[in-house]
Structure 1
């Protein structure tokens, strides 16, 4: 444990007033910026609240963590600087320490979990340059911290804690000073993401010292809710495992100092799931054209949940966008889940009779709803099991749609909240089928407009059967669709005529070796 930190803990407990004093003299602006407090006009209009985004993703390291890291390191004595520092981080604190080390000329050893996004690992090396050494160890921040504390003894370096340090907390608290200066008018609540608690401890302390009427509400991922559990239990708890989607806040145990401050000054802590975080990422993008990382969108996800469940009247709400160090490869997953998170997409397994005309009845039951995904493979002579995603215009429509399916005597299983189905089963529907005789396989480009599938079905020969269908909306002008059609060899000429007059671009994949190996009858 850092000596000054141990003295601070034993000498007195931090209070709102003491954090405020430290924040007012913090040295963050030698390297950090005053960030914008932007009106999220599109989201505000949609949810009926005045929403402001505190854009900490605009910092030089694309995260608020620079404030606390630099403020702590700027306080080091000449002797401490000569020995260097060591830190543990899931990524954003590491970048703050690296940039601070480079600016202050201090050698830094930084331990990061092996699960840290590569974009963050690369950024640490870039910001720190010759002053920084990166060590990868463990699967979470807590694992990395254990390794950093082990190395600290060997290196005799100062440990720069990512959250449980008075100077770090004070550095993060400068965000609250900025918010109050930028918005001196009525303010109902500030929503803050929580990992180890340094950010919310600093913000809550300053807010309660200056504007005790303003609510401070923390937000955690439901699978990494160490602060929520600690506050409920009245003591710090250590989680066995933490979810890693919101990797920047994946902390198994919150700090001593941060927990104490949160007990005193935080009004509530909300928990949000992955789909809600993905929807918040999209909301921020639509209003700012910037893409936050999952932890960076936590606060907004909580704000939206708060408004949906409690209402807000005409109050002003602030969400801290804490970071934007997003791995590009995650965007595919985020886009996949954002519609469900906003309850704009419902996912069903629908069972219809395996007979001519069933697909048309199914399309009729959909009404004006657009299909976002459609997966089917013939596998039963009596019943066809379809995985379908459907666009929702408003919340609550999915029950009505399920009723419409049942009115047509279709079996319905609502999978909208089923993680197994959304993560895995949607990609595993199909395989070989002994029923897929005389199957021809085609890739089509369907125009992304209502009625495109119905037009295809209406023009198809009534004696032909669809044995495979796969479609997923990817936001393009044309949908890429894979269709298996059972056509006797004697009718292949009719099939070619049908395809030529349909008007949809297509490719015959019937002889594709991968299809023959994995799906062919």
Structure 2
């Protein structure tokens, strides 16, 4: 037994005075679907609906006389720190970007109560982070990193201690979401080389892969913040030192739109609410195929802080990825019956979700923005063949990120 394992187990034991262990549940639906023995470690069922309070607890419990904790976060880390500030009776100042959804701000305030002060600074996380670090330095407070701290890593490793005890051993495969690397490096430190690992990142925030390719942490030029719980521009220095030898073959990068299909499946089939980052490990199973068949697999569902106001966006992304929804601009002749001619081409499973047309004087053609939903992607092939045969001019803008974001 390693010293790190001892510390992780001690952390897990100490946490029981604050919150119960999260359940490890076998999922029959996923097991049947992939021909494997699949278990979900439900970190989405922690008091703050993510694993982040573990690292916050461990880092704070180890510092006697702690008076001020400062952190920067747009979500889960903020809630974990707020929860623990209230538990330990420590004053906390939590910096969040001005653009943070109100729901996350309210939940952070709810968990922290009178123990925390929330300051909204900057439009982007980097601005918020700089302000938090400057404040901690000026006030002599403890800056609590969301991942790049040895005590935080040790606290996140308590997930591994619980898995081992609940499963009665080590899984064959461990599927781990990665943002800044705190959870991944903690689990790798706890289990060592015993299980096969798959470290999963959102495609638009794959900082671990970038660091592995460069041989050192690098800052991504651009980050897609949809999976905000794991969308990190630069992996931590401490965490990368522990993850640097995992190899590119042990990583997966998940398309954010495909991630939405898994979020909807888990909600509709299992009644499990997962945020985008929380669904990463489950979505990764789609790419693992024969690698996991017949094996005992544990997926970390790392968070369930999902604002249901985002559900329409999730559905839109899922339909687009599955090829069940498309947007296109149709050049429609300005003559009687032209619109009817187009409508007659639609099949029984085609549904108009959006239609915008402005008739302009002294023009022979007008542009129509059309959004169509269907039950089978092949229906669009049939429709486009009909449009081509009839001489209609159209442009599919579904994959045009700039144009579709502006119009849709």
Alpha-carbon spacing, 1:354–1:204, altered in 2? closer, same or farther (3 Å): farther
Map Cα deviations across residues 294-351 of structure 1 (whole Å, 9 max, x no partner).
32233333333x258x875454544322222233432332233222234433444445
Preserved contact between residue 220 and residue 233 of structure 2 (Cα < 8 Å): yes
- Unpaired stretches in structure 2, ≥5 consecutive residues: none
State the partner residue of 1:298.
280
The CA deviation at 1:277 is 3.0
Residue of structure 2 equivalent to 1:321: 301
Aligned with 1:176: secondary structure?
helix
Shift of 1:41: 4.8
- Matches of 2:365 and 2:351 in 1, distance apart? 24
Q: Structure 1 residues 207, 389: closer, same or farther in 2, change over 3 A?
A: farther
Partner of 1:417: 399
C-alpha distance in structure 2 between counterparts of 1:29 and 1:401, whole Å: 59
Q: Per chain length, whose mean CA-contact separation is higher, i.e. which structure has more relative contact order (CA < 8 Å, sep 6+)?
A: 2
Q: Secondary structure at the match of 2:77?
A: helix
User: Is 2:7 the partner of 1:22?
Assistant: yes
| Structure 1 residues 187 and 356: CA distance shift in structure 2, 3 A | farther
Normalising by structure 2, we get a TM-score of 0.85
Alignment partner, residue 59 of structure 1: 46
- Counterparts of 2:356 and 2:36 in 1: how far apart (Å)? 42
| C-alpha contact (below 8 Å) 1:43/1:283 kept by paired residues | no
Q: Would you say the 8 A contact 1:19–1:202 is kept in 2? A: no
| 1:254-295 alpha-carbon deviations (Å, 9 max, x no partner) | 211111122134653333333223323212212342432232
Pick one of 325, 336, 339 that aligns with 2:316.
Answer: 336
With over 3 angstroms needed to count, the CA separation of the structure-2 counterparts of 1:376 and 1:152, relative to structure 1, is: closer
> What is aligned with 1:226?
207
- The alpha-carbon deviation at position 404 of structure 1 amounts to 4.7
Q: Give the whole-Å Cα distance in 2 for the aligned partners of 1:387 and 1:150.
A: 50
Match of 1:345 among 325, 329, 343: 325
1:164 is displaced (CA, Å) by 1.0
Query: Do the aligned partners of residues 387 and 127 (structure 1) sit closer, same or farther apart at CA in structure 2, a change above 3 Å counting?
Result: same
Question: For the residues of structure 2 that align with 1:370 and 1:409, how far apart are their CA atoms?
Answer: 20
Matched residue of 1:161: which SS?
A: coil
Residue of structure 2 equivalent to 1:391: 374
**Residue 34 of structure 1: aligned partner:** 21
Cα-Cα RMSD:
3.2
Superposition deviation, residue 38 in structure 1? 3.7
> Partners of 2:295 and 2:386 in 1: how far apart?
39
The separation in 1 between residues aligned to 2:352 and 2:382, in whole angstroms, is 18
Aligned mates of 2:310, 2:177 — CA distance in 1: 20
Moved more, 167-176 or 63-72: 167-176
- Aligned positions, number: 402
From 48, 66, 69, the counterpart of 2:56: 69
- Distance of aligned partners of 1:73 and 1:185 in 2 relative to their CA distance in 1, 3 Å threshold: closer
Q: Which runs of 5+ in 1 are unaligned?
A: 1-15, 427-521
Deviations 1:446-471 (A, max 9, x none): xxxxxxxxxxxxxxxxxxxxxxxxxx
